[in-house]
Amino acid sequence: MTERDPAENRVLALDMGSVRIGVAVTDPLGLFAQGIAVWQVREGSRRDAWRERFEACLARYDPALILVGMPRRTDGSWGPEAERIAALVDDLRAAYPGRRFETWDERYTTVIAQRVLLEGDVTRRKRKERVDKIAAALILQNWLDARANAGSA
């Protein structure tokens, strides 16, 4: 990693589904989240095809932190999907030891993203293409807002 200007401490967020991964990044000042991509987990016979795109994002944005959405149950406990994500985050930490990883509660982000797209009268096909990207942006913006609120309290 290169030495960074404090104004360029971006955060990259991942909404890790078993079929698609939504991706979002902050602006250079780290104030706003923007959905940037949806990656397919599997392309043909390649199970981790998304890793090449992940590495390209690391090179392009050089994020100070990679935030991964943690799918918790409504009562806050972990289910099988959360266990899968925790193991994946452990694998990413091992593969990228110079990077910081953190998880963030992603409860209801996909539901909210679906609702936003429905209210925007987006077709079913386009909703499927965009929902994961919007969910990743919601995860990231929730995290940014929580940090801002903690700093002002």
Domain of residue 50, CATH code: 3.30.420.140
The 3-state DSSP class for residue 11 equals strand
Rounded Cα gap, residues 56 and 53, in angstroms: 5
- The token duo for 45 is 């016979």
Asked whether residue 75 is domain-assigned, the answer is yes
Q: Per DSSP, what are the bridge partners of residue 21?
A: 16, 39
Identify the domain containing residue 135 by its residue range. Answer: 10-148
Asked whether residue 90 is domain-assigned, the answer is yes
Residue 143 confidence (pLDDT): 92
Structural domains counted in the chain: 1
Inter-helix orientation angle 124-152/109-119, to 10°: 120
Rounded Cα gap, residues 57 and 21, in angstroms: 13
What are the backbone dihedrals phi and psi of residue 120, each rounded to the nearest 5 degrees, phi first? -85, 5
CB 12 within 8 A of CB 21: no
Mean pLDDT of 18-31: 91
Q: Which residue has the higher pLDDT, 126 or 7?
A: 126
Asked whether residue 94 is domain-assigned, the answer is yes
- The token duo for 16 is 């890790």
Instruction: Please give the model's pTM, rounded to 2 decimal places.
Output: 0.82
Q: What percent of the chain has pLDDT over 70?
A: 76
Q: In whole numbers, what is the pLDDT of the chain averaged over residues?
A: 83
pLDDT exceeds cutoff 50 at 81: yes
Asked whether residue 3 is domain-assigned, the answer is no
